[in-house]
Structure 1
Amino acid sequence: MPPIQPPVFPISMLSSHLLALSFGATYVGSLYLSKNARLRFSKSPATPPTGPEASQYVRQRRIEPGSRDDPAVIRARLTAVTFATLFNCTIVYYLVSRSTLPSSDHSLGSTLALLGLSPAWPTSVLPYLQTPLLFLGPLYASSYLTQSLPGQAHYSFEFQFIKTFCTWIGFRNYIWGPFTEEIVFRACVLSVYAMAGAPRWKMIAFAPLVFGLAHVHHAWEVYNRLGRTQNALKQAAMSALFQTLYTTLFGAHTSYLFLRTSSLLPPLTAHVFCNIMGVPQMGLEIKSFPAKKRAIQIAYAIGIISFIYTLVPWTETPGSVFWLGPERFWRGVAA
């Protein structure tokens, strides 16, 4: 009986690291290549007011020319990252076409499978409920207790849907931003690691680092927005550190969802949901509802424990290409 030959993968592990970093650099770099996409900062930023004038100040800041929320800047940045995303997908297609059968149809199908865009999406709703389950505490405290869920007293379709999603800011935060980021930082990055035969634990460990590092550049915005002082530098560094850690952990979660389901949809919906919910703030929620302190703490605990308990069974997807293991992965894609 002839010895079993080890699998031959299309690229080396070093190449996968370099490609993953280049995907992130291309995505972030595109924001600075275009003159219209670069942010402009005032030399003497205004001090944010307090009291009744605060909300009006926020609305005015959002439309300040050259700011991150300026519609013209948003359009330029969305255009830039769209081209960066297409460029990175083209690289993945090129690698696939050089590594599988010569048929262009086969290469296209394999590329779509690698990017989680094939028609074989998860039929179960459970993978999509994983992230909301983790956010059970914030959902209870920030939504239910504030009576802002659909059907409750303070819910407003115009404010919480139209003004949230049907604006340039909403389109960036909840639609096109998450979509392009998931394609690049999940689909493209995990694809090249899979092409190198990386075991699943390495893919879940390495890929989120690229996503976390891609958010470091926000420190430059914070530093400039706060006046380029020594205190601004400290706040920018702390903000960058927290955002990098948070996005890296989030990236690990969505990478796991992608690998388990071989679909872009579960991590994409998780990304949109997390953007809507924001960072959990249990201390602030308890301060707002002191009489519900114990209930809020229990809701957080139940959410976290349930999330861990259901992490494997709820994400089970028979035939997941990415979950076949490095020794069978490439054969599964090329079949």
Structure 2
Amino acid sequence: MASEPELLEYFLAPPISLEIAHTLTLLFAAAYVGSLYLSKYTRLSFSDKSIRVGSGGSKERGANERWRDDPDVIRARLAIVSLVTVFCCFVVYAVIRAVSWYKVGVFYSTIVRLGFHLSSVESVYPFLLAPLLYLGPIYASYLGEHLPFQFYFSWRRDVVDTFISWQGVRNYVLGPITEEIVFRACVLSLYHLGGASRTWMIFGSPISFGFAHLHHAWEIYNRYGRTRTALKNAALTTLFQLSYTTLFGAFCAYLFLITGSIYPPIFAHIFCNVMGLPQIGLEIRRFPAHKQSIMVAYCIGIIGFAFALRPSAFARLSSMYWRSGSMVGWF
């Protein structure tokens, strides 16, 4: 018969091991990226010829080539990653069911753990962090009169044509939603069940998200002519993408962990995709008379963003992910 300390240790121990969490995380990443190459409809194809292209440009699309932005490729890829996302959620459900003491309410527990429950959205505060970080670019858009209801803003061009297109659906709708569900909700749920530290969940878990973007190097290499310059361009672009996607993943992981909701990370992902990378140099060249105010806006945004991230700012928000390891914390 087990002693009382042994029973206590059993009930307080993480339901799964970190090794299982790591393995399933790799499975999710491999399934998400690998699914893009399973079918001839989702795979890209390029000419084997090396072509020199002008500086800063890519070669023309060949008649028999399939590029990432081709509508039929986008449709096929969105369909397959949607199925993979459902599969990953089912795996999380299966794990929770396997380790749960009671089989009743496992589906609801999975919904809550994945951050899908609408009651998890308790405040607009987490949704304001990404716009705060982009205060500088937003101010520059204001100077250029490109914000909604300003002179150069067009609902058809900036909203309809941007979002109601296959590229728009991929970049600003299904792409961010599926990536956040898989690489944030599913991955972090398993790491929490495995007893991973908060530090690892925030800074370690996004590594798989960053590496999931490395396959773009093959496309860049081919689109820029399969030359040594194209190879260099692909390597530098991909390393830069790996860096900022991993950092962005850490931000979204933090949002998910501290709110217990998948909706703030999805919103942040969509918002940042719409805004793109900040280009302070270009904005200063466009509005030289406002150089100082643009720099001030950037500084206020960055400092304000860092200040707003402090855990005490989320004190009124409840998140099971910030509880200490306990029976209540696991389930």
Give CA-to-partner distance per residue, 1:98-134, whole Å, 9 cap, x none: 011342x411111111211123222211110011101
Q: Is the 8 A contact 1:164 1:170 kept in 2?
A: yes
Worse overlay, 87-96 or 33-42:
33-42
1:46 deviation in Å? 8.3
2:165 is matched with which residue: 164, 167, 170?
A: 167
1:12 deviation in Å? 0.9
Unpaired runs of 5+ residues, structure 1, are none
1:127 maps to which residue?
126
2:31 is matched with which residue: 14, 21, 26?
A: 26
Q: Is the 8 A contact 1:74 1:172 kept in 2?
A: yes
2:95 maps to which residue?
95
1:25 deviation in Å? 1.0
Q: Is the 8 A contact 1:261 1:317 kept in 2?
A: no
Unpaired runs of 5+ residues, structure 2, are none
2:247 maps to which residue?
249
AA partner of residue 36 (structure 2): L
Provide the identity percentage: 49
1:261 deviation in Å? 0.5
Closer, same or farther in 2 for the Cα pair 1:234/1:86, shift >3 Å? Answer: same
2:328 is matched with which residue: 304, 322, 331?
A: 331
2:202 maps to which residue?
204
AA partner of residue 136 (structure 2): G
- TM-score computed with the length of structure 1 as normaliser: 0.90
Q: Is the 8 A contact 1:186 1:255 kept in 2?
A: yes
Counting only pairs closer than 5 Å after superposition, residues 1-335 of structure 1 correspond to structure 2 as 5-6=8-9, 7-42=12-47, 43=49, 47=53, 66-103=66-103, 105-141=104-140, 143-312=141-310, 313-325=312-324, 327-328=325-326, 331-334=328-331
Q: Measure the CA separation in 2 of the matches of 1:318 and 1:129.
A: 15
Q: Measure the CA separation in 2 of the matches of 1:138 and 1:221.
A: 29
AA partner of residue 271 (structure 1): H
1:218 deviation in Å? 0.7
Closer, same or farther in 2 for the Cα pair 1:140/1:45, shift >3 Å? Answer: farther
Q: Is the 8 A contact 1:209 1:248 kept in 2?
A: yes
Count of residues paired in the alignment = 323
Q: Measure the CA separation in 1 of the matches of 2:135 and 2:43.
A: 37
Give CA-to-partner distance per residue, 1:24-65, whole Å, 9 cap, x none: 111000001121011122446684699xxx9xx99x96x996
1:77 deviation in Å? 0.3
Worse overlay, 253-262 or 10-19:
10-19
Closer, same or farther in 2 for the Cα pair 1:65/1:149, shift >3 Å? Answer: farther
Give CA-to-partner distance per residue, 1:275-297, whole Å, 9 cap, x none: 00011111121122222111111
Q: Measure the CA separation in 2 of the matches of 1:321 and 1:37.
A: 38
Q: Measure the CA separation in 2 of the matches of 1:200 and 1:151.
A: 42
1:180 deviation in Å? 0.4
- Give me the CA root mean square deviation: 2.4
Give CA-to-partner distance per residue, 1:161-198, whole Å, 9 cap, x none: 00000111111110000010000000111011101111
Q: Measure the CA separation in 2 of the matches of 1:320 and 1:154.
A: 42
Closer, same or farther in 2 for the Cα pair 1:76/1:48, shift >3 Å? Answer: farther
Closer, same or farther in 2 for the Cα pair 1:259/1:236, shift >3 Å? Answer: same
Which aligned runs of 4 or more in structure 1 are off by greater than 4 angstroms? 44-50
3-state SS, counterpart of residue 115 of structure 2: coil
Q: Is the 8 A contact 1:45 1:225 kept in 2?
A: no
1:319 deviation in Å? 2.7
AA partner of residue 225 (structure 1): R
3-state SS, counterpart of residue 41 of structure 1: coil
Q: Measure the CA separation in 2 of the matches of 1:235 and 1:305.
A: 32
Closer, same or farther in 2 for the Cα pair 1:276/1:45, shift >3 Å? Answer: farther
Worse overlay, 289-298 or 305-314:
305-314
1:17 deviation in Å? 1.4
Q: Measure the CA separation in 2 of the matches of 1:254 and 1:116.
A: 13
Closer, same or farther in 2 for the Cα pair 1:134/1:65, shift >3 Å? Answer: same
- TM-score computed with the length of structure 2 as normaliser: 0.91
